[in-house]
Amino acid sequence: MKKLIYTILITFIAISAWAQSEAIYTFNLFNQLNFNPAYAGSKDVLDAGLIYRNQWWSGIDGSPKNINLYGHMPFAKNTSGIGLNILTDKIGLDKILTIGADYAYRIHFKNHNTLALGIGGRYENARADWNEINEKVGPGDPNFGDGGTESKTTFNVGPGIYFNNRLFYLGASLPRMLANSLYSDKGKFSGKVNTWFVQGGLTLPISQNVELLPNVQVRINPNSPFDLDANLNVMLYDAFMIGAMYRLDDSIDGLLMYQFKNGFRLGVAIDFTTSDLKDATTGSFELMAGYTFPCPTCKEIKSLRYF
């Protein structure tokens, strides 16, 4: 019975409104372009990656599944950065496609300090197939539509700021600034109120072959509870990363990542649900693959930052 109740809840959320927020990842250290356009070009070389996330993978039909493909690079003698971010998301009846393009103007200071100011634009399309739900609840039910396909398209923009050096980074952004969102207003839940992202992290050398990489992301929305991800990663021999994350009132997560000397990296993350959903699902998982292209002025890939 609980499984059925949670399944109906997810379906209701999906057909009531297309959410006004970004997809949230455990590997947020590696896909900051998803929520901050100023991150574009920050690695000083071409960097690309792919993340697959399967949320609430056991126990809930119609649970969110998304794929994030991204790439970014500097240009104009490293004074600017550009990025491309593609996201496909399926939740319940809805299939959402987001294509984003980002630009960052990068200001270089002494001692490898860089301040970037970014702006991103995104095309968003959401489609819902009502026939899929009508097959399960019976024809003519006024609560679930009359069948057919519903589609909505919007365009949005958002600014970001990003500061980093070799040991520290801090960024803030508003990925969606305009009110013309995919979200359908439902009482106090409004597309006119959007989510701010603040994220920061450190590289703390412990020994010649061990580094600590703490990372925090805060999401601020006036219509939602305070939201926080805090994680601590340990990097061994500039190649193997193991980490743990706490997502406030939601989950405890673990991740593993290995970066090869040629710049290719692979990772896996598992989220263990701690909210009330734990009675219906085990949790979520992510798979990540990425590649940092060779740098003509760098001797080895491992000399590059991990953020």
Residue 194 has pLDDT above 90, yes or no: no
Position 11 confidence tier, pLDDT thresholds 50, 70, 90 = very low
- Give the range with max mean pLDDT: 63-72, 124-133, 293-302: 63-72
Residue 60 has pLDDT above 60, yes or no: yes
Q: What is the pTM of this model?
A: 0.84
Length of the chain: 307
Q: Could you tell me the residue range of the domain that residue 73 belongs to?
A: 2-19+28-303
Position 307 confidence tier, pLDDT thresholds 50, 70, 90 = confident
Residue 146 has pLDDT above 80, yes or no: no
Average pLDDT over every residue of 124-147 = 65
Q: pLDDT higher for 254 or 1?
A: 254
Average pLDDT over every residue of 253-277 = 91
Q: pLDDT higher for 185 or 15?
A: 185
Average pLDDT over every residue of 101-116 = 95
Average pLDDT over every residue of 158-169 = 94
Check residue 12 and give its pLDDT: 42
Calpha distance 66→143 (Å, rounded): 27
Calpha distance 245→239 (Å, rounded): 19
As for how many domains the chain has, the answer is 1
Q: Which residues pair with 99 in a beta bridge?
A: 86, 123
Strand-pair category, 65-75 with 227-236 = unpaired
Kindly report the backbone phi and psi dihedral angles of residue 240, in degrees, each rounded to the nearest multiple of 5, phi listed first: -105, 125
pLDDT digits (tens, 9 = 90+) for 209-231: 999 999 999 999 887 788 899 99
| Residue whose structure tokens are 């959410």 | 19
- The CATH number for 143's domain is 2.40.160.40
Check residue 184 and give its pLDDT: 59
